[in-house]
Every structure is written in C-alpha cells, then in structure tokens.
C-alpha cells in the first residue's frame, strides 16, 4: 500500500491537475475569509469549501492512471487496493489543503465571537476547525468515490452528479458535514467552541462505506 500511495502521489503531483481545484479553494477562501473576521466563521468556511474540492481531487486521482497502466498495477497489487490507494491519495491531499487553510484562518481571523465581544480560545477553536476539515474531507471523499469511476464511468453522469451530491451533502440537515460546519458557525454567535466529534466519526463511517463499495466495484467494471 505504501508503494501504491507513493506512485499515486507522484502521479497526482506531476500531473498538475491539482491546480484547478487548488485555485478554486484559494478563491473560496479569498472570498469567504476576511482579515479580522470572527475566527469560528472562518474555520467553518474553510471546512465547508473543502468538501467539493475533495470530491474533485478524488476524480483526478481515480483517473490518474491510463487504463492499460491500471490493469498492470491491478495485476500486481489487486484492483481494490489500487483503487483504495488512489482514493486515499486524494483524501490525504485534501487534508493537507484543509490544514493549511485552518492555519490561514487562525492567522488572519479575530478570535472573538461574531456578536458581542466574547473571546474564543484559539487552540480549541483550531482543534474544532481541524475536526470539521477532516469531516468535510471525508464526506467529499465519499462523494468522489461514489460519483466517479468505477461506480459512474461516464463523464456526463459523473461530473453533474458529483457536483449535485457535494452541494446536497453540504446543505442537507442530517449531513455530518453540515452539522460540523453549522456547529462552528452557530458557536461563533456566542463564542462557544463545539468540538464536532460526532460528525467526524459519522463522516469516517460514511467515507469508509462509500470507498469500500467503490473498491469492490473496481474489479467488476473495468
């Protein structure tokens, strides 16, 4: 698995296909995070914007290998392991982006509530922000795994359904991503930090199930 991850990471980095989702994320952050704004709002924004970006990164990674090359890797390591490595590569890349964005939010935002002037403890806020980032990256991974090859192989179907799914997962009431982000944003009113433990664990379960399903399909639809 380490060898596959190294291979997939080099494919991703050298392909330069990460540039459009990175620019999209930077644009999101530039629009949503204002210097001196409330910290918890900024952290919620950084996490929410990461979800569609992660889904895009998964799309790039699962299509990073040419089909003939994928067959060779699959013979050597097993198709599901190859697919798992490509999904994990995207998740790791998204986590790196999210961590940098969290640091940026902490650096430029004002550690106070959005209403009144209640101080927000920075370490706890940063921790809650990271958990929310992880929850959103995991759900973005789930969306990416289900809305791309090998589950949905036609681009015409994969791209719109991926975008729609990412949007739905962000706004739907019961979604862990929504819970994690709105926990930060509502906490921002009063300056209370809510650790999104439950949303993070739920996201992990959803991402694991979705990825397992996609990996199972990897040897069934080639």
Partner 1 sequence: MKLAGVGRRYGLRKHWVLRGVDLSLPERSLVRVQGVNGSGKSTLLRLIAGIDAPSAGRISGRPPSAYVPERFPAAMPLTALGYLTHMGRVHGLRRDAAAGEAREWLERFGADAYARTPLAELSKGSSQKVVVAQALLARPRLLVLDEAWTGLDQNARTVLDRSVAERVAEGGTVVFVDHDPARLAGSPDVTYRVEGAAVREVAEHVPPGHGGVPATGPRVRIEAEGPPGVALPPELPGSPRTEQTSDGATVLTAPAPYSDALLRGLLAGHWHIRSVAVEEIPR
Would you tell me which residues interact with partner 1 (CB under 8 A)?
Answer: 3-4, 6-7, 10-11, 14-16, 64-66, 68-69, 71-79, 219-222
Q: What is the token pair recorded at 165?
A: 């799914």
119 three-class SS: strand
Q: How many CB atoms lie within 10 A of CB 74?
A: 18
DSSP class per residue in 155-179 = HHHHHHHHHHHHHHHHH-TT-HHHH
Pick the closer one to partner 1 by CB: 80 or 104: 80
Dihedral, CA of residue 16, residue 18, residue 21 and residue 22, to nearest 10: -90
Pick the closer one to partner 1 by CB: 79 or 196: 79
Residue length, the chain? Answer: 222
For residue 54, the minimal CB distance to partner 1 (Å) is 22
Bridge partners for 110 per DSSP: 38
Pick the closer one to partner 1 by CB: 60 or 120: 60
For residue 19, the minimal CB distance to partner 1 (Å) is 13
Pick the closer one to partner 1 by CB: 117 or 221: 221
Q: What is the token pair recorded at 15?
A: 């392909």
For residue 105, the minimal CB distance to partner 1 (Å) is 32
For residue 218, the minimal CB distance to partner 1 (Å) is 9
């Amino acid at each position: 698995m380490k060898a596959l991850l190294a291979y997939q990471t080099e494919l991703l980095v050298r392909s330069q296909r990460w540039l459009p989702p990175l620019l999209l994320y930077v644009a999101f952050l530039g629009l949503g995070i204002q210097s001196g704004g409330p910290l918890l709002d900024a952290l919620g924004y950084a996490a929410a914007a990461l979800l569609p970006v992660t889904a895009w990164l998964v799309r790039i990674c699962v299509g990073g290998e040419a089909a003939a090359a994928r067959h060779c890797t699959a013979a050597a390591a097993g198709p599901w392991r190859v697919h798992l490595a490509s999904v994990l590569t995207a998740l790791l890349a998204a986590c790196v982006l999210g961590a940098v964005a969290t640091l940026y939010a902490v650096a430029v935002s004002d550690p106070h509530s959005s209403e009144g002037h209640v101080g927000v403890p920075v370490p706890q806020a940063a921790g809650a922000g990271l958990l929310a980032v992880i929850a959103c990256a995991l759900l973005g991974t789930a969306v990416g795994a289900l809305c791309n090859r090998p589950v949905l192989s036609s681009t015409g179907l994969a791209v719109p359904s991926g975008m729609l799914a990412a949007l739905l997962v962000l706004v739907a009431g019961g979604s862990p991503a929504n819970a994690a982000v709105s926990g930060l944003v509502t906490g921002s009113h009063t300056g209370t930090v809510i650790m999104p433990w439950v949303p993070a664990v739920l996201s992990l379960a959803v991402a694991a199930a979705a990825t397992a399903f996609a990996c199972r399909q990897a040897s069934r639809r080639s």
